[in-house]
Amino acid sequence: MAIDVSEIQTVEHDVIVVGAGGAGLRAAIECSSMGLNTGLVCKSLLGKAHTVMAEGGVAAALANVDHRDHWKVHFRDTMRGGKFLNNWRMAELHAKMSPDRVRELEEWGAVFDRTKNGLINQRNFGGHRYPRLAHVGDRTGLEIIRTLQDHGIHQGIEVYMECTALDLLKDGDRISGMVAVWRESGRFIIFKAKVVILATGGGGKAWQITSNSWEYTGDGYCIAYESGAELMDFEFTQFHPTGMVWPPSVRGTLVTEGVRGEGGILVNKEGKRFMFKYIPEKFSPETADTIEESNRWLAGDKEARRPPELLTRDVVAKAIRDEVRAGRGSEHGGVYLDIASQRSAEDIKRKLPSMYHQFKILAELDITKDPMEVGPTLHYFMGGIRVNADTQMSNVPGLFAAGECAAGVHGANRLGGNSLSDLLVFGQLAGIGAADYINSLGTAPAVDNRQVEQIVKRATDILNRESGENPYLFHETLQENMQDNVGIVRNEEDLVNGIKKLEELKKLYSKVKAVGTSQYNPGWDEALALRSLLITSEAVARAALIREESRGAHTRLDFPNESDEWQNYNVVIKKRLDGTMEVNKVEREKPSDDIYRIAYSTLEELEAEVAKEME
């Protein structure tokens, strides 16, 4: 069947932003504020993106609760949490700019919880030295997305809802637009654009147990990779330590780290508070080693060190896994997270209302009375599209990325709360980067109709096949493979098996068939997303195989320690001309002396330095 490109709806914008979570909305607002004609394309309705699931808060060194906080301490915490693999410049920008991005949200109508002095309140979280997370109970993400949404709709941004990005268009090396499909009508749409900013989040749906929604299929990674962009740090997939484990239908659903921030403790089936056993050497000077000290910390003693439940997510997730494997797990294969014994029912309902509600309804459990059962769940990609730290542009001119979709700021492990600040900081910077790029652009790039035809054909082939594989069952097979072979702990044998299985699935993908028509057909959506999931999964597995060490969220049983050599390298992935995946070990850029010194200072040195600065 011939495709007549002139029949396809075509619209023109300076910038197309893909994804309407925090990063996409913030990027679109910035573009629009600089006078760029901006389109925002999202797979779901506006305001439903995964940002609403962020619960605990947004990390920013506002120093409203502990006056000793400072961007330098936030930066140091972020680097330590990321096992020093973070992009130095991005981690610096992130720590410096977060406070202003949070204040700006207040300017746009966000209503954060308050301190006694009427300032934005901040709570404790894993890996953050001071109470640093500005929050609204345990629904901070909702507050942020609604604020950006309600501000954004008055900024002249054109929003394309329930519209799925299919592939990018290029004029030579440069971006010239994108093709997408309207989910309701099944009709295609061509976006002519000088810039595309990808803010599509991660790809957690490649695993069985995940906190991610159906949308999280790595679409941004896939279309960037296909257009020649480099991907980086894909081996670092964060397993959040506390997902629900019971009942089975909600396995993986997120239980906010805010529960531990508010004093929740982790207990095994013997009733033992086990995290004291798992304190890494690097963190022992800053972590409480007795229940008594932990209790003093919870009571607000500033001299007391933080309880080990608030160690970074990689550490806590592995500890839970080890407890379960040693036979000390809970009834349904997790451990217990207990807030009931630490806080009054009234406090719990006030500080963690949506957790209370979630467990009451989904697990028929009252968290003010009983402990929750929790276990690790695939939550977040530290890796993503490789971008310039200051402009957020990838190696493809005109292609930008921000938020979870981009790599760099979080290194080998992300601290809780740093995601929401990441969205705001780098969403804005991507907008500025896009404007600079457009200003420097000579002739406008042109759309090549042959590229459009290929994209449309690839999508419609899935519908037009006579018969074929069920996309849902294909997806389940893929998820099983990733869960079994590319899970929370990895080894060479499993990874090689996993990759072999992925190669088989890639071949089978050309036989996937979506039944029905093109109109609002989730089977077609699913089949289209499988392509993204396959590339995402392969990138994770291949990056995990090459990195022969354990660092942060990447754990290799056959290489159990951090390697000094690997400290200096990122794993960078790109598509070869023959279509196969090229995986390279690429040396990292060196930081400035001052930034290096801050990251490796002791806490005492840094606190003294900051105190002096603030005098």
Cis preceding linkage at 376, omega within 30: no
Provide the 3-class DSSP secondary structure of residue 294.
helix
CB of 213 to another protein, least distance (A): 5
* Residues with Cβ within 8 Å of residue 249, at least 6 apart in sequence: none
Among 30, 171, 215, 230, binds another protein (CB under 8 A): 215
Among 19, 22, 24, 47, binds another protein (CB under 8 A): 47
Q: Please identify, among the stretches 3-11, 484-492, 513-521, 551-559, the one whose residues bind another protein according to the rule CB under 8 A.
A: 513-521
**Closer residue to another protein (CB): 144 or 599:** 144
Catalytic residue among 70, 260, 313, 321: 260
Radius of gyration of the chain (CA): 23
Is 432 among the residues that bind another protein (CB under 8 A)?
A: no
Residue 333 contacts another protein per CB under 8 A: no
> Token pair for residue 489?
């702990």
Query: Does 50 contact another protein by CB under 8 A?
Result: yes
> DSSP letter at 3?
-
Q: Does 113 bind another protein (CB under 8 A)?
A: yes
Closest to another protein by CB, 357 vs 500, is 357
Q: Is 361 in the site for another protein (CB under 8 A)?
A: yes
Q: Indicate whether 326 belongs to the interface with another protein (CB under 8 A).
A: no
Q: Does 343 participate in binding another protein (rule CB under 8 A)? A: no
Q: Which is nearer to another protein, 48 or 260 (CB)?
A: 48
Positive/negative CA dihedral, 465, 468, 473, 474: negative
Residue 581: DSSP 8-state: E
From 246, 400, 426, 509, residue interacting with another protein (rule: CB under 8 A) = 246
Residue with token string 């389109």? 39
Dihedral angle over CA of 520, 526, 532, 537, nearest 10: 160
Q: Give the shortest CB-472-to-another protein separation in angstroms.
A: 4
| Nearest residue to 240 via CA among 214, 215, 207 | 207
Active site residue 13: no
Secondary structure element (H or E) that encloses residue 171, with its range = strand 163-171
In the region spanning residues 131 to 150, those forming contacts with another protein, defined by CB under 8 A, are: 136-137, 139, 141-143, 146, 150
Q: Is 362 in the site for another protein (CB under 8 A)?
A: yes
Q: Is residue 241 a contact point for another protein (CB under 8 A)?
A: no
Residue 446 interacts with another protein (CB under 8 A)? no
Q: Specify the residue, 82 or 201, whose C-beta has the smaller distance to another protein.
A: 201
Question: Mask of contacts with another protein, 64-83, x by CB under 8 A?
Answer: x-------------------
Q: Which of 18, 41, 168, 363 binds another protein (CB under 8 A)?
A: 363
Crossing angle for the helix pair 449-464 and 522-546, to the nearest 10 degrees: 110
Chosen residue from 11, 153, 508, 603 binding another protein by CB under 8 A: 153
If we measure between CA atoms, which residue out of 263, 350, 274, 353 comes closest to residue 299?
263
Across the beta sheet with 15-18, the strand order is 158-160, 38-41, 15-18, 195-198, 399-401
Helix (H, G, I), strand (E, B) or coil at 430: helix
Question: Residue 604: is it exposed, middle or buried by C-beta count within 10 angstroms (0-12/13-18/19+)?
Answer: exposed
Should residue 516 be labelled a site residue for another protein when binding is judged by CB under 8 A?
yes
Q: Evaluate whether 28 touches 431 at the Cβ level (below 8 Å).
A: yes
* Three-class SS state of 472: helix
Task: Rank residues 118 and 271 by Cβ distance to another protein and give the closer one.
Answer: 118
CB of 591 to another protein, least distance (A): 29
508 interacts with another protein by CB under 8 A: no
Residue 42 sits in the site that holds another protein (CB under 8 A): no
- Taking CB under 8 A as the rule, does residue 247 contact another protein? yes
Query: Pick the catalytic residue: 123, 240, 306, 490?
Result: 240
Closest CA to 193 of 39, 35, 17, 13: 13
Distance CA(180)–CA(189), nearest Å, equals 5
Tell me whether residue 68 is one of the annotated catalytic residues: no
Measured CA to CA, the distance from residue 321 to residue 403 in angstroms comes to 28
**Would you mind telling me the total number of residues written for the chain in this entry?**
615
Q: How far is CA 286 from CA 48, 211, 241, 318, 381, in A?
A: 38, 30, 20, 20, 27
Evaluate whether 40 touches 160 at the Cβ level (below 8 Å): yes
Which range binds another protein by CB under 8 A, 319-327, 431-439, 442-450, 518-526? 518-526
x/- map, 455-494, another protein, by CB under 8 A: ---------------xxxx---------------------
Residues belonging to the active site? 240, 260
Name the residues that contact another protein, by CB under 8 A. 44-50, 52-53, 64, 103, 106-109, 111, 113-114, 117-121, 136-137, 139, 141-143, 146, 150-151, 153-154, 159, 161, 184, 213-215, 246-250, 253-254, 354, 357-358, 361-364, 470-473, 514-517, 519-524
